[in-house]
């Protein structure tokens, strides 16, 4: 099994967002960056599929700044064989440009599977995986929460509103992974040491500017702290009255 | 003049409610575009679709049903091809999807086929000098990104529960056409239905959410009873802590690594309010917090709070809601 996993370096989910002086981007001062949590499921699944097949290779590919090398090393420490950094000074908001850059790297490599997290927890774009699939003309299933692969075919389950879709597809394919697919492993010390010696190719890349222009990044309006209606079950009648008469939601 | 195409969803041959919001958003966009643009609503199905004739009332000038035996269940490749072909032939100013499970899968495929950027999960749209401007939450709602889409069509998906359907006293025209299509390589073989009547947190107008304060998984029954009292309009959500502990399914998680939701009413029970949870629910219209710790951060974003033991407060609330719904 030859598997590619596309990963992204993102701010930790506990980050308090501050807006940079340009009014259009995140102030990265003091921000801790991590491997996108949804990509961890993709890395883990790639490793498990390779282990099950008993042979093959898992490669991670990241599009990002030089610091994304650390993110790649995290995946290498989990057990991935090698990494590729498509190094770019900054990422554009247009996911199609990201998809084009990744598709360019993937197109001639004959992977059996290309895995993505279902979305990145920074830009919430939720689109690069299926776009890459379209650009490479590969079958694609998104937000996979259960997966079985056998005999060149796969069956995936994906959550939809009020149910679960059961989806069949042939390999090679592009899949995006959802929480619940697996429990990602933590890198062991041995893995962390080994990761330092694993190959990491750095390829300067310049995605196109795309057709989306950022006008502003702003903090959402602060919610006015409301009122404490009261204490204990005695306050419930008043709460219901307020919800009906003041908030008008009941 | 370029029309707006609203891509709708059906399940079991009936229009899904979220599609009313998509038509409403498309209408708003069409009215803002120059030259009196129209709204064409498109639905793919195996046959006639129930509820298609009511979409004129939400702002669709024309409802087009494209039928094919392969279109009963969602067919990612067949749908993407049919929609992209339609858009290429039609010269549309914008194409609008729901940011639902299906829409978020389908919209990127269509956008890539069109070679156009995609703005997912949009919460507000406008038009300036002919260009579509969209606002969307990023960092799970900790910030709002405002983008301008250069060129046409603008491809957008709209966050559920944000574009409140507006009824208009107008009937749209109907058109049904059989199309040649194959399902493609990716085949949805069936839908395993969730228990009858259960709503998804991403689309529910009311969410009753629980955290570690519930103490153990079985106690979520208290929240399920409260949700049931709202008469089929409420879903039960959960904090990351209880999902990670295996108490509740991942599908129910609200927050930065779960779902970002915008219900009319969000009731946070026994949830302290970690920053990644607040990010996922802060755009709710009204937030109620029930927590025994009066200093819990959840009270800083709640419109109404009750400090107290949830095992006393919630059953009382359930009783009061039941009275309202008679």
**What is the tens place of the pLDDT at every residue in B2-17?**
899 999 999 999 999 9
Does residue A204 carry a pLDDT above 70? yes
The verdict on residue B190 lying in a domain is: no
Answer yes or no: are the C-beta atoms of B288 and B267 closer than 8 Å. yes
B254 and B145 in a common domain: no
Q: Using 50, 70 and 90 to split pLDDT, how confident is the model at B182?
A: confident
Across B135-154, average pLDDT: 95
Beta bridge partners of B15: B10
The verdict on residue B107 lying in a domain is: yes
Res B227: pLDDT: 96
B275 and B153 in a common domain: no
Does residue B169 carry a pLDDT above 80? no
B229 and B131 in a common domain: no
Q: Using 50, 70 and 90 to split pLDDT, how confident is the model at A97?
A: very high
The verdict on residue B187 lying in a domain is: no
The verdict on residue B14 lying in a domain is: yes
- Contacts with A179 from chain B: Cβ below 8 Å: 243, 250, 253, 257-258
B158 and B32 in a common domain: yes
Res B119: pLDDT: 98
Answer yes or no: are the C-beta atoms of B98 and B110 closer than 8 Å. no
Across B12-40, average pLDDT: 92
Cβ contact, residue pair B101, A160, below 8 Å: yes
Res B260: pLDDT: 87
CA torsion, ordered B50, B51, B53, B58, to nearest 10 deg: -160
The verdict on residue B273 lying in a domain is: yes
- Contacts with B142 from chain A: Cβ below 8 Å: 15-17, 219-220
Res B222: pLDDT: 98
Res B109: pLDDT: 98
The verdict on residue B48 lying in a domain is: yes
Q: How far apart are CA B45 and CA B103, in angstroms?
A: 15
The verdict on residue B196 lying in a domain is: no
Does residue B194 carry a pLDDT above 90? no
Q: How far apart are CA B72 and CA B87, in angstroms?
A: 21
Q: What is the total count of domains within chain B?
A: 2
Res B203: pLDDT: 87
Selected for mutation to probe chain A from B112, B113, B127, B258 (highest A CB count within 10 Å) is: B112
Res B183: pLDDT: 83
DSSP string, B84-126: HHHHHHHT-SEEEEE-SHHHHHHHHHHHHHHT--EEEEESEEE
User: What's the CATH code of the domain at B70?
Assistant: 3.40.50.620
B143 and B81 in a common domain: yes
Res B193: pLDDT: 83
Does residue B1 carry a pLDDT above 60? no
A2-204 topology per CATH = Rossmann fold (3.40.50)
Give the domain range for residue B61: 4-178
Cβ contact, residue pair B185, A169, below 8 Å: yes
The verdict on residue B189 lying in a domain is: no
Which pLDDT tens digit goes with each residue over B93-120?
Answer: 999 999 999 999 999 999 999 999 999 9
Q: How far apart are CA B110 and CA B90, in angstroms?
A: 14
Q: How far apart are CA A184 and CA A200, in angstroms?
A: 22
Across A23-38, average pLDDT: 96
B218 and B298 in a common domain: yes
Selected for mutation to probe chain A from B11, B21, B72, B118 (highest A CB count within 10 Å) is: B118
Does residue B196 carry a pLDDT above 70? no
Is the C-alpha dihedral spanning A195, A201, A204, A205 positive or negative?
negative
B80 and B37 in a common domain: yes
Does residue A115 carry a pLDDT above 60? yes
Cβ contact, residue pair A93, B264, below 8 Å: no
Q: Using 50, 70 and 90 to split pLDDT, how confident is the model at B47?
A: very high
- Compute CA distances B69 → A29, B177, B183, B265, whole Å: 55, 12, 9, 40
B155 and B60 in a common domain: yes
Cβ contact, residue pair A26, B143, below 8 Å: yes
B291 and B166 in a common domain: no
Which pLDDT tens digit goes with each residue over A121-162?
Answer: 999 999 999 999 999 999 999 999 999 999 999 999 999 998
Domain ends where: B178, B194, B224?
B178
Answer yes or no: are the C-beta atoms of B160 and B202 closer than 8 Å. yes
Q: How far apart are CA B198 and CA A164, in angstroms?
A: 13
Of B146, B193, B256, the CB nearest to A162: B193
B232 and B169 in a common domain: no
Res B197: pLDDT: 63
Closest CA to A181 of A37, A9, A71: A37
Across B264-292, average pLDDT: 95
User: What's the CATH code of the domain at B303?
Assistant: 3.40.50.1220
B174 and B211 in a common domain: no
Selected for mutation to probe chain B from A37, A97, A123, A162 (highest B CB count within 10 Å) is: A162
B233 and B272 in a common domain: yes
């Amino acid at each position: 099994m030859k598997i590619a996993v596309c990963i992204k370096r993102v701010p930790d989910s506990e980050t308090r967002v501050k807006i940079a002086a340009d009014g259009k981007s995140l102030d990265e001062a003091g921000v801790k960056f991590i491997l996108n949590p949804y990509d961890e499921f993709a890395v883990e699944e790639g490793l498990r599929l390779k282990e099950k097949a008993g042979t093959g290779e898992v490669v991670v590919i990241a599009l990002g700044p030089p610091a994304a090398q650390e993110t790649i090393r995290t995946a290498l420490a989990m057990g991935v064989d090698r990494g590729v950094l498509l190094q770019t000074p900054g990422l554009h908001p247009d996911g199609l440009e990201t998809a084009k850059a990744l598709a360019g790297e993937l197109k001639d490599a004959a992977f059996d599977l290309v895995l993505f997290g279902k979305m990145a927890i920074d830009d919430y774009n939720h689109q690069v995986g299926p776009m890459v699939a379209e650009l490479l003309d590969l079958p694609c299933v998104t937000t996979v929460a259960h997966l079985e692969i056998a005999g060149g075919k796969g069956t995936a389950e994906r959550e939809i509103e009020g149910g679960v879709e059961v989806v069949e597809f042939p390999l090679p394919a592009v899949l995006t992974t959802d929480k619940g697919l697996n429990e990602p492993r933590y890198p062991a010390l041995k893995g962390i040491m080994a990761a330092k010696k694993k190959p990491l190719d750095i390829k300067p890349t310049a995605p196109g500017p795309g057709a989306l222009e950022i006008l502003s990044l702003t903090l959402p309006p602060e919610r006015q702290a409301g009122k404490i209606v009261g204490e204990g079950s005695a306050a419930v009648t008043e709460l219901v009255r307020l919800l009906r008469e003041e908030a008008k939601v009941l | 003049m370029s029309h707006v195409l609203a891509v709708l969803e059906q399940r079991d041959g009936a229009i899904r409610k979220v599609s009313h919001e998509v038509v409403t958003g498309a209408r708003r966009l069409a009215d803002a575009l120059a030259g009196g643009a129209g709204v064409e609503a498109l639905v793919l199905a195996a046959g006639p679709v129930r509820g298609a004739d009511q979409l004129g009332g939400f702002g669709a000038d024309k409802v087009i049903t494209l039928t094919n035996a392969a279109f009963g269940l969602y067919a990612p490749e067949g749908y993407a091809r049919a929609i992209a072909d339609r858009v290429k032939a039609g010269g549309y100013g914008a194409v609008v999807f729901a940011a639902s499970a299906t829409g978020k899968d389908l919209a990127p495929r269509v956008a890539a086929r069109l070679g156009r950027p995609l703005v997912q999960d949009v919460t507000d749209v406008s038009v300036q000098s002919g260009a579509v401007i969209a606002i969307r939450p990023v960092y799970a709602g900790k910030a709002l990104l405002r983008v301008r889409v250069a060129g046409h069509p603008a491809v957008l998906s709209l966050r559920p529960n944000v574009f409140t359907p507006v009824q208009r006293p107008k009937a749209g025209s109907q058109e049904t056409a059989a199309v040649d299509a194959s399902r493609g390589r990716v085949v949805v073989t069936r839908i395993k239905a969730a228990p009858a009547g259960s709503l998804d947190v991403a689309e529910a107008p009311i969410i009753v959410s629980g955290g570690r304060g519930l103490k153990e998984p079985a106690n979520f029954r208290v929240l399920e009873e409260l949700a049931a009292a709202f008469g089929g309009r409420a879903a039960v959500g959960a904090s990351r802590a209880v999902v990670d502990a295996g108490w509740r399914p991942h599908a129910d998680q609200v927050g930065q690594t779960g779902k970002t939701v915008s219900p009319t009413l969000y009731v946070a029970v026994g949830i302290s309010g970690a920053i990644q949870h607040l990010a996922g629910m802060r755009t709710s219209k009204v937030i109620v917090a029930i927590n025994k710790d009066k200093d819990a951060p959840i009270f800083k974003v709640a419109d109404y709070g009750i400090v107290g033991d949830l095992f006393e407060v919630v059953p009382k609330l359930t009783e009061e809601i039941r009275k309202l719904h008679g």
